[in-house]
Amino acid sequence: MSQHGRMHLPDSEMSWRFSRSSGAGGQHVNTTDTRVELSWSLDATSALTDAQKELAARRLRSRLVDGTITVVSSRYRSQHRNREAARVRLEELVTQALVPPKPRRATRPTRASVERRLGAKKRRGDVKKSRRARWD
């Protein structure tokens, strides 16, 4: 964990790609590769234990492609700021994925909530009963 309360991931495990960003920026945007794509392999990392890797893989399964997480940033006009934004986002994602699940404490419904539920079921049944055709 770093001083910002998020996991620090080693630079050597990160893979960077740069491309031209869309949006405002005038002629500058047509000449510089400011969009940043950061890829990090969860499977190959040495920054996490095996148990942490399993937890992160479960929590981030919708973002993983072949065990790799990719984060894109094109928010800023400078490549340097986009690199920093992508790194922060990746580290926050991993940090949040590693927070242990809060144990569920079993509780019982209150008497009033049980009575409200049963009263609603009774009223609904009465409505349906009143709609039935009567055959005499």
Please count the structural domains in the chain.
1
What pLDDT is recorded for position 32?
66
Average pLDDT, the chain: 83
User: What residues have CB less than 8 Å from 42, skipping those under 6 apart?
Assistant: 48, 53, 56, 57, 60, 64, 67, 68, 69
For residue 40, being part of any structural domain is answered with yes
User: C-alpha angle 63/94/74, rounded to 5°?
Assistant: 65
For residue 43, being part of any structural domain is answered with yes
Dist. CA 108–CA 74, nearest whole Å:
49
For residue 73, being part of any structural domain is answered with yes
Prediction pTM value: 0.63
For residue 21, being part of any structural domain is answered with yes
- Give the structural domain span for 28: 1-130
For residue 59, being part of any structural domain is answered with yes
CATH number, position 115: 3.30.160.20
End-to-end CA distance of the chain: 77
**pLDDT (tens digit per residue) in 3-12:** 566 777 877 8
For residue 118, being part of any structural domain is answered with yes
User: What residues have CB less than 8 Å from 55, skipping those under 6 apart?
Assistant: 97, 98, 100
Burial environment of residue 110 by CB neighbours within 10 A (0 to 12, 13 to 18, 19 or more): exposed
For residue 136, being part of any structural domain is answered with no
Comparison of pLDDT for 71 and 121, the residue scoring more: 121
> What letter represents residue 83's amino acid?
R
For residue 135, being part of any structural domain is answered with no
**pLDDT (tens digit per residue) in 28-59:** 656 667 788 888 888 777 788 888 888 888 88
